Amino acid sequence: MRIGIVGFGKQGRRWGRVLGNLGIAYDYIPRGTTHMFDGVIVATPTASHVEIASEWMLRGVPVLIESPMCASAAKCLHLIYAAPASAIAWVNHTRLYSPEWRGIKEQLIYPVRSVVAEMGRPGRCDYHMIAMCLDIGFDPENADIEVSTTYKPLRFLADDFLFRDVLTEPEPMEVLAREWVAAIKKGEPDKGALEFGAKVVSYL
């Protein structure tokens, strides 16, 4: 198996390290390349996600798109409509693949009554917090989300269960990469992540 990575910025280089740690062959590839891969990670600026991901999906290649999925809800819908029925398309909502987060989800009593979250990302509401709310069936508009003026690791309190954004083993991106590669090998179409990603963007 060989994975192509479109984008050589911070996140693209991080994906290279993740795949290398897992022993998965990869190449950094330019936009418009004619080479074929078993899967492609789209790690370019958000504004280019629709064009690049659509191109690869129409060629029958599974994609993993960096989050946020698109720059607007309308562009998300365009990407969903462009995806063929056979597409395998995932979106990198990293924290949802954290072993700690998955453990908290198993302990929660549903429906969740309250969410209090803090993230040091000045000037914006972090899309990861929105994804986490939606992942537990909680409306992000009812969450008490604070964006700090200085960098702080994410803290997410769902009822009485606290999730802290700390680097652990296995690293969430490695969990995501393993599960995405397993889905590619399985070969079953999966576009659910696109619909979830669109819902996340609709709250931004």
Integer Cα distance of 168 and 63 in angstroms: 25
Verify that 196 and 138 share a domain, yes or no. Answer: no
Integer Cα distance of 46 and 44 in angstroms: 6
pLDDT computed for residue 121 by the predictor:
59
Yes or no: say if 117 and 155 are a contact pair by the CB < 8 Å rule. Answer: yes
Q: pLDDT band for position 123 (50/70/90)?
A: very low
Verify that 116 and 156 share a domain, yes or no. Answer: yes
In DSSP terms, 96 is beta-bridged to none
pLDDT at 112 over 60: yes
Verify that 136 and 82 share a domain, yes or no. Answer: no
Verify that 81 and 182 share a domain, yes or no. Answer: yes
% of the chain exceeding 90 in pLDDT = 73
pLDDT computed for residue 50 by the predictor:
95
| Interstrand relation of 25-29 and 2-6 (parallel, antiparallel or unpaired) | parallel
User: Domain range holding 35?
Assistant: 2-94+170-202
The CA-atom distances, in angstroms, between 189 and each of 4, 88, 154, 178, 184 are 19, 5, 33, 17, 9
Q: Of 173, 134, 53, 9, give the one whose Cα is nearest residue 181.
A: 173
Q: What is the DSSP letter of 94?
A: G
Yes or no: say if 41 and 33 are a contact pair by the CB < 8 Å rule. Answer: no
Alpha helix segments (H runs only) across the chain: 10-21, 49-58, 73-82, 99-107, 127-135, 172-186, 192-202
| pLDDT one-digit tens code per residue, 1-49 | 999 999 989 999 999 999 999 999 999 998 888 889 999 999 999 999 9
pLDDT computed for residue 125 by the predictor:
57
The CA-atom distances, in angstroms, between 71 and each of 7, 50, 74, 109, 110 are 17, 9, 8, 34, 32
pLDDT computed for residue 32 by the predictor:
81
Verify that 62 and 11 share a domain, yes or no. Answer: yes
What is the CATH number for 184? 3.40.50.720
Verify that 113 and 128 share a domain, yes or no. Answer: yes
pLDDT computed for residue 201 by the predictor:
94
pLDDT computed for residue 181 by the predictor:
96
pLDDT computed for residue 169 by the predictor:
62
Most confident of 103-112, 125-134, 154-163: 103-112
Integer Cα distance of 199 and 201 in angstroms: 5
Hey, what amino acid is at 12?
G
Number of domains in the chain: 2
Integer Cα distance of 133 and 81 in angstroms: 25
Q: 89: helix, coil or strand?
A: strand
Verify that 121 and 177 share a domain, yes or no. Answer: no
Quote the tokens at residue 195: 């619909």
